[in-house]
Amino acid sequence: MSSAPVCLDDFEKLARLSLPASVFGYYFSGADAESTLQRNKDAYDSLLIRPRILVDVEKVTTETTILGHKINSPVCVAPTAFHGMANDEAEKATARACASLKTCYTMATYSNTSMEDTYAAAKQKSRKQDPLHWFQLYVEQDREATKQLVQRCERAGYKALVITVDRPRLGRRLADLRHAFKLPKHLSLANFIADETRSGAGAYAGGAIDASLNWKDIEWFKSITKLPIVIKGIFRGEDAKLAVKHGVDGIIVSNHGGRQLDGCPATLEVLPEIVDAVKGSKVEVYVDGGIRKGTDVFKALALGARAVFLGRPIVYGLAYQGEEGVRSVLSLINYEFRLAMALAGCTSTDKITPDYIIPAEEISLARSYAKYHSKRIAPKL
Ligand SMILES: Cc1cc2nc3c(=O)[nH]c(=O)nc-3n(C[C@H](O)[C@H](O)[C@H](O)COP(=O)(O)O)c2cc1C
Ligand SMILES: CCCCC(=O)C(=O)O
């Protein structure tokens, strides 16, 4: 590809060309047959937008808030591990890009620059204003170590704790098995002091992650931190209701980008169930997985998501041009989203309601024909 990227999929193509196969394989792959990875993306194509016309869209704003914090766009950055394989500045570059565009950056537990250094880099970028950082937590068997991590991120200025609950064990990503993927030796897990289980290889194998994590632990987290708690990986209405009952503040509807349980629905397909389950509570619902276009963002918001999170496109942007590359990815999808809003006749995110969309199967030619034309053209019997 010789020209500059003009859509998010172009960044994936460039990353495939430039990164070592094992690194691209780690970033790109999903679990097993990758059917959920594909389904996440396809789901967006099976939902159609019904635009309103002759709406004054001279001024369109994408601004919104998450957990009370203002962001310029509902497109935020999901936690993804090991940014150092894409760029030497690693998470610092990603966080700076988010700070300059005033959106939320979620730092992964397994990052290659520390939470303190990353926050400081972003703060400098945002001219000393507090950047909006959330911290994604993998809960460890050693709860004292986990507690220290939580306290550190609270001290460092992170505004929410995102507890990932869909990874009691690591999904089988075939590309990683084929390449015997490991974190390159020159990179470390910068939020930890190095030891066996938290070496690159150990962490990837899930050495320290606690598979016994359950709802009781959520109560424990609430007792050790004042930070709002967001649960990442809720997938069913019953579990969303339990999240409300346990006093969490937010839910990220996620299947880990199809990297864990293959064969589950797309996140967009289960989003309405979760939105419905938390109705009447203050819990905010966000979604990730397969979002690649401005119209995807529009559709997710129409189904009730307050914001969306991007995973892979961010690391592809980082691999392309570091901080500038991440900024390009975010700016491009924000531009597309604003355009989709204008073309659909919505001037602000709260105006994007379910009546703007319709599942493709409900609007098949056969149905439209039957509804509007059958009487006129039907042969007389
Ligand atoms: C390379 C990579 C690393 C990831 N690392 C983490 C992680 O450390 N913690 C986590 O909760 N989710 C992790 N995820 C999942 C993302 O947070 C997110 O759920 C997913 O990437 C969204 O799908 P998308 O890539 O299609 O946008 C990772 C995803 C990818 C692709
Ligand atoms: C230890 C690496 C975990 C990162 C992760 O969650 C993923 O690759 O999906």
To test the ligand 1 pocket, which listed residue (12, 115, 259, 268) has its Cβ within 8 A of the most ligand atoms? 259
Return the best residue to mutate from 197, 259, 314 for the ligand 2 pocket (most ligand atoms within 8 A of CB). 259
Find out whether 155 is annotated in a ligand binding site: no
Q: What is the four-CA torsion angle of 108, 95, 43, 13, rounded to 10 degrees? A: -100
β-strands 47-49, 357-359 pairing: antiparallel
Is residue 39 within 6 Å of ligand 1 at its C-beta? no
Catalytic residues: 256
Interface predicted TM-score (ipTM): 0.99
- Ligand 2 pocket: which residues have CB below 6 Å? 81, 110, 167, 203-204, 256, 259
Residue ranges covered by each domain of the chain: 8-369
Residue nearest to atom 15 of ligand 1 (CA): 256
Q: Which pLDDT tens digits describe the chain residue by residue (381 residues)? A: 668 999 999 999 999 999 999 999 999 999 999 999 999 999 999 999 999 999 999 999 999 999 999 999 999 999 999 999 999 999 999 999 999 999 999 999 999 999 999 999 999 999 889 999 999 999 999 999 999 999 999 999 999 999 999 999 999 999 999 999 999 999 999 999 766 555 555 556 556 899 999 999 999 999 999 999 999 999 999 999 999 999 999 999 999 999 999 999 999 999 999 999 999 999 999 999 999 999 999 999 999 999 999 999 999 999 999 999 999 999 999 999 999 999 999 999 999 999 999 999 888 777 777 777 666 656 666
Report which bound ligand comes closest to the CA of 201: 2
The domain made up of 8-369 has a fold known as TIM Barrel (3.20.20)
Query: Does ligand 1 have an atom closer than 6 angstroms to the CB of 293?
Result: no
